[in-house]
Amino acid sequence: MCEIRVGLPEVNVLGVDDGDLFLEIHVECRRPRPGCRFCGVLAQLKDQRIVTLVDLPCFGKPTRLAWHKRRWRCSEVDCPNGSWSEEAPRIAAPRFAITDRAGRWITEQVGRCARSVNEVARELGCDWHTVNDAVLAYGGALVDDPGRFGAVAALGLDEVLFVREGPFRRPQFSTSIVDVGRGQLLDVVPGRSGVGPRVWLAEQGSSWLAEVAYATLDLSGSYRAVFDAMVPDATQVVDPFHVVKLANDKLDECRRRVQNETFGHRGRKPDPLYRCRRLLTKADERLDDKGRGKLLGLLRAGDPHSEVATAWHAKEAVRELYGHDDPDLALTFVDRLAADMDDAVHPVEVRSLGRTLKRWRLQIAAWHRAKVSNGPTEAMNNLIKRVKRGAFGFRDFASYRVRALLYAGRPDWSLLQSVTPTVR
């Protein structure tokens, strides 16, 4: 019964100690005397020491596996082999402080179920680093499986906050590389410049890059340069959300500038422009007669030169870009709108918006034909943030990458029982 509980048919159970803190199971390998790998002479027992390993809980109590590990020596005097320790990968990998089955269980609990390392360590009654090292060893081998993802037709890039460092809490970012078509996180690389994504894409090979038909991004010049260099034949598509968001940001900049120029201070509760700040960013078709009347009245009271009203109309015109499905009309629409906004009579924020539309005209118009967006990339960022909340933040990028890919990278969990752990 003890051998069934231990689950290792090639060991002898020597005894069980039921202590106050742990349940300790003593085992030894049931194997014939080995031969020397150099000369083949049967080895002699040199000594035996007990290696205590963290194991899965038993009867609701933390358990330790005490492995009576034998050390052998070659009996041949002239053999250069000397002595060596026996190895049993099914019990534990070399230099690991945890049993093999516990390491695989930990990887699924932390990686697949997004449990915190501290929570699992408390359940096993062991150190935080013991659990985290197991996740990196087994999880790293799982996420680095070359068959985890195949050809990608639509590729997305986006930044996500990694950590805030130093006394001034300076943000350090990472870049998510996502298969937009399948909604799969392919990898996470440090930084939000184009260096990390370029290196990662170069490692995939030219045949893999040739399969990428669409490249989705926000209005990021660094990611645009990555796609220009690495997948020049792919159609770049700017995410509609970020285009409309930019229009709303420019509208808000205009409102705050006019507020300061007109009243000499930032927006306060009684100020007309401050009172209509929510109505300005609301979609026009979602305003009822009362809301629209209130908005126009507040603009008349607080916008003497109609600059905010112009920015509001510009925002609604940008939204109209996505109000039709005609791909042949899209580029003409963008060009005409950018030219109208570049008029000198418009506020500086509207002219800035027009220049941005002009620079990104092809990528904006491409959405009407491709109909792919960076939405799945944003969804992967949300899953990464879910992992970060469970971990109460990360400081080590290797842990951050492995945990994110285990949760959002769709590894083949059926391979967990067969992967070989890697010591990092």
Q: How confident is the model at residue 414 (pLDDT cuts 50, 70, 90)?
A: very high
Position 259 scores a pLDDT of 96
Going from N- to C-terminal start, the domains of the chain cover: 2-95, 154-238+375-413, 240-370
Phi, psi of 50, deg, nearest 5: -95, 125
What DSSP element (H or E) covers 320? helix 307-320
**136 near 106, Cβ under 8 Å?**
no
Position 358 scores a pLDDT of 96
Position 2 scores a pLDDT of 63
Nearest to 295 by CA among 273, 310, 317: 273
CA–CA dist 72, 340 (Å, integer): 85
Answer CATH for 154-238+375-413 from 2.60.40, 1.25.40, 3.30.1330, 3.30.420: 3.30.420
Look at the alpha carbons of 342, 347, 350, 352 in this order and tell me if their dihedral is positive or negative.
positive
The tokens for 360 are 């990104």
Instruction: Write down the pTM of the prediction.
Output: 0.89
Alpha helix positions (H), 125-220: 128-134, 140-143, 195-204, 206-210
Q: How confident is the model at residue 42 (pLDDT cuts 50, 70, 90)?
A: confident
Q: How confident is the model at residue 43 (pLDDT cuts 50, 70, 90)?
A: confident
Q: Which residue has the higher pLDDT, 60 or 381?
A: 381
pLDDT (tens digit, 9 = 90+) per residue, 117-173? Answer: 999 999 999 999 999 999 999 999 999 999 999 999 999 999 999 999 999 999 999
Q: Does 424 have pLDDT greater than 80?
A: no
Q: Which long-range contacts (CB under 8 A, 24 or more apart) does 174-177 make?
A: 174/397, 174/400, 175/223, 176/377, 176/380, 176/381, 176/384
Kindly report which listed range (12-16, 81-85, 293-297) carries the lowest average pLDDT score.
81-85
Which of the listed ranges 21-35, 63-77, 197-211 does the model predict with the highest average pLDDT?
197-211
Q: Does 227 have pLDDT greater than 90?
A: yes
